[in-house]
Structure 1
């Protein structure tokens, strides 16, 4: 089965569908605490990469401008039945390349402490833990990471 990547933006219906599944999964994992992140996860027309298999949207990742040199990785998700196939890595590599094409020199991200697989993925890809930034400062449930491109 071939993976097809499509660059679009966060208004795309397939992205919205995948983000709905992601939000449901995060609510299950974090319970009421997840409501604190709702406002932080709003993405208005940001660049996103969608992954398809036979026209089925199976994964996504986005990037949001922070400043002239950095973007923040947002809303990385792969449907549970497609995990373990390296799709998150493929999505992350594509958003990294896209950020480079946009002239950025670094990517930052936030993930939750319970998302062990995500933390491992980011470390494998060369991200390192940094001080929590922005709205995540003082939040002991968040881990922030950065990678120079």
Structure 2
């Protein structure tokens, strides 16, 4: 049975998932690497950051992370499920585990970015209570970016 586990950002299985995600995003957005923020998984080793994965046997089949912005906000990063393992609720399990962890860490809100060519991701975030916000940070001028937030302070059910 697949299990959600904490993993270090140095785990080579995570690197394989993130490489697959990057290749898929590059292809989806016509080879334009600027559609995705340059990302160093080591940024997830800091205080208030979390990297979770779904493990099935020895393999990792999905992942997602929280990267601390400040004492009140974390950003959901690198949500990904291997193509052959999609449709089984793994992304939802990761996202809800991240939301739960963010609450336990005392964050008041989560933010995230996805792309307009990722309807399944958009549907997952909206079903999970995230609401659209103006594009922020790196994504402020990227027209294909879609940004969301989830206030956590007043909502204690998930």
Quote the offset at 1:38 in angstroms.
4.4
* TM-score normalised over the length of structure 2: 0.87
Q: Which has the higher helix share?
A: 1
Match 1:97 to one of 95, 100, 104 = 100
CA distance in structure 2 between the aligned counterparts of 1:112 and 1:36, rounded to whole angstroms: 8
Give the number of aligned pairs: 147
Most deviating of 134-143 and 109-118: 134-143
* TM-score normalised over the length of structure 1: 0.92
Quote the offset at 1:138 in angstroms.
2.2
Quote the offset at 1:139 in angstroms.
1.6
CA distance in structure 2 between the aligned counterparts of 1:103 and 1:9, rounded to whole angstroms: 21
Quote the offset at 1:17 in angstroms.
1.0
For structure 1, the residue ranges without an aligned partner over 5 or more in a row are none
CA distance in structure 2 between the aligned counterparts of 1:23 and 1:135, rounded to whole angstroms: 17
Task: Indicate the RMSD between aligned Cα atoms, in angstroms.
Answer: 1.3
In structure 1, the partner of 2:13 is: 14
CA distance in structure 1 between the aligned counterparts of 2:30 and 2:133, rounded to whole angstroms: 25
For structure 2, the residue ranges without an aligned partner over 5 or more in a row are 45-49, 153-158
Quote the offset at 1:36 in angstroms.
4.7
CA contact (8 A) 1:11 1:45 kept: no
In structure 2, the partner of 1:24 is: 23
CA distance in structure 2 between the aligned counterparts of 1:42 and 1:111, rounded to whole angstroms: 17
CA distance in structure 2 between the aligned counterparts of 1:36 and 1:20, rounded to whole angstroms: 15
Quote the offset at 1:51 in angstroms.
0.5
In structure 2, the partner of 1:37 is: 36
CA distance in structure 1 between the aligned counterparts of 2:42 and 2:59, rounded to whole angstroms: 23
From the superposition, tell whether residues 137 and 38 of structure 1 become closer, same or farther in structure 2 (CA, over 3 Å).
Answer: closer
- 1:9-52 per-position Cα deviation (integer Å, ceiling 9, x unaligned): 3222211111011011111101232345242x333241200101
- 1:117-142 per-position Cα deviation (integer Å, ceiling 9, x unaligned): 10000000000100111111122110
CA distance in structure 1 between the aligned counterparts of 2:33 and 2:100, rounded to whole angstroms: 30
In structure 2, the partner of 1:77 is: 80
